[in-house]
């Protein structure tokens, strides 16, 4: 179901107020509050901030409303979310919450009544946890709103605290092979997306190339700077799904990163970043886990779960992270819809971590 949104108007004050008042009557501990005072405060709050409320539409019909804003404590808060009875039990509330969380890269909080068990259950399913109880009538619930694809930060922290690295330091042969095959020169501008602990960036930098190596993980970038101090100015934190940089590059490469992006919109964002940051005649190398045929995807809600994984040092308890394997057919479709033309594809490896990696060399479609 496609939802559209519109800023609330003065005529929306009354229905929003009536909903809020009904919630108080249904779920609040009326014996613990000054009811007239609370109702007066609610009315004033809605009137003073009506331009911050959003009306939800389904096929041009009003389906509900919500208030998502930064409160006086600087926290992002979901307030007064209500779906009209006609539109309830259709997933609209869940979709609105997901949209709110996706719009910010920060924790999100909300208040809900303890007696409203249906709402509490919904919020818990969407990743919110009870963090505080107020007057035995309301919960404060918070969602740390960590993007599932940032879970490798926790994995790196766990291993680094033990004085070991997560991955080996053996570079992926295909990177330098493609650089040489397509005549990428030392004076060209190179970008690595998802450098991790620097396995491939070290090899590229030691061969004299002008590389900007990036990763979403602060822990990974700090590790690279510590272990490669002579190249530390080449490393920086970057979330290619939300950050912007002004540079264009002759060659962009990303090894075993795209498979950690599960949702279509995130994968499209990854490809769009590459498209927007390639020079007109630039090339990109994309490697992803898979054999070109088998498809699967993990449950992103479990990305931060602590699980047992094999490591060269033995069994380790680390964040599960995320994974999506696609076929060459799906990969080619993804690249095409994001304006990238395939020059070459194939299967390679990057041992000891990856015995089967699909790869594609691409350029901007003219």
Which CATH number does the domain housing residue 282 bear? Answer: 3.40.50.150
Least confident of 30-34, 37-41, 56-60, 255-259: 30-34
Together in a domain, 332 and 191: yes
Separation in Å, CA 244 to CA 123, 281, 330, 361: 32, 21, 27, 23
Together in a domain, 216 and 359: yes
Together in a domain, 129 and 176: no
Together in a domain, 212 and 298: yes
Query: 94, 120, 143 — which closes off a domain?
Result: 143
From the centroid of its chain, how far is CA 263? 9
Query: 122, 143, 164 — which closes off a domain?
Result: 143
pLDDT tens for residues 193-215? Answer: 999 999 999 999 999 999 999 99
Q: What is the mean pLDDT of the chain?
A: 95
Q: What is the pTM of this model?
A: 0.73
Together in a domain, 175 and 104: no
Give the Cα separation of 146 and 216 in Å (integer).
Answer: 12
Together in a domain, 19 and 106: yes
- Tokens 């922290």 identify what position? 157
According to the model, what pLDDT value does residue 281 have? Answer: 96
Query: 103, 127, 143 — which closes off a domain?
Result: 143
pLDDT tens for residues 246-297? Answer: 999 999 999 999 999 999 999 999 999 999 999 999 999 999 999 999 999 9
Question: How many structural domains are present in the chain?
Answer: 2
Which CATH number does the domain housing residue 12 bear? Answer: 3.40.630.30
Together in a domain, 10 and 135: yes
According to the model, what pLDDT value does residue 2 have? Answer: 83
Q: Give me the domain span that covers residue 187.
A: 148-364
pLDDT tens for residues 128-147? Answer: 999 999 988 999 999 988 88
């Amino acid at each position: 179901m496609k939802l559209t949104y519109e800023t609330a108007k003065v005529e929306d004050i009354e229905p929003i107020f009536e909903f809020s008042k009904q919630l108080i009557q249904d779920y609040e501990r009326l014996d613990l509050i000054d009811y007239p005072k609370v109702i007066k405060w609610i009315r004033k709050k809605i009137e003073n901030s009506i331009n911050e409320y959003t009306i939800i539409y389904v096929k041009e019909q009003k389906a509900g409303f919500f208030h998502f804003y930064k409160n006086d404590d600087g926290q992002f808060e979901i307030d007064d979310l209500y779906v009209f009875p006609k539109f309830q039990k259709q997933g609209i509330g869940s979709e609105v919450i997901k949209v709110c969380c996706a719009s910010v890269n920060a924790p999100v909080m909300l208040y809900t009544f303890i007696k409203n068990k249906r709402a509490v259950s919904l919020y818990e399913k969407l990743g919110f946890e009870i963090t505080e109880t107020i007057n035995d009538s309301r919960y404060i619930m918070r969602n740390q709103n960590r993007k599932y694809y940032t879970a490798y930060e926790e994995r790196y922290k766990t291993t680094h605290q033990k004085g070991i690295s997560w991955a080996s330091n053996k570079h992926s042969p295909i990177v330098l092979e493609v650089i040489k095959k397509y005549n990428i020169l030392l004076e060209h501008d190179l970008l690595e997306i998802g450098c991790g602990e620097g396995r491939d960036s070290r090899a590229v930098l030691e061969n004299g190339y002008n590389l900007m190596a990036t990763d979403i993980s602060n822990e990974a970038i700090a590790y690279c700077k510590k272990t490669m101090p002579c190249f530390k100015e080449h490393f920086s934190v970057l979330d290619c799904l939300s950050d912007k940089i002004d540079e264009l590059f002759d060659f962009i490469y990303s090894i075993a990163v795209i498979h950690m992006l599960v949702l279509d919109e995130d994968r499209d964002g990854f490809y769009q970043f590459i498209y927007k940051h390639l020079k007109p005649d630039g090339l990109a190398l994309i490697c992803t886990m898979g054999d070109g045929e088998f498809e699967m995807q993990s449950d992103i809600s479990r990305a931060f779960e602590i699980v047992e994984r094999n490591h060269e040092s033995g069994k380790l308890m680390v964040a599960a992270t995320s994974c999506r394997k696609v076929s060459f057919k799906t990969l080619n479709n993804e690249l095409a819809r994001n304006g990238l033309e395939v020059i070459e594809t194939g299967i390679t490896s990057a041992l000891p971590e990856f015995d089967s990696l699909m790869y594609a060399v691409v350029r901007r479609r003219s």
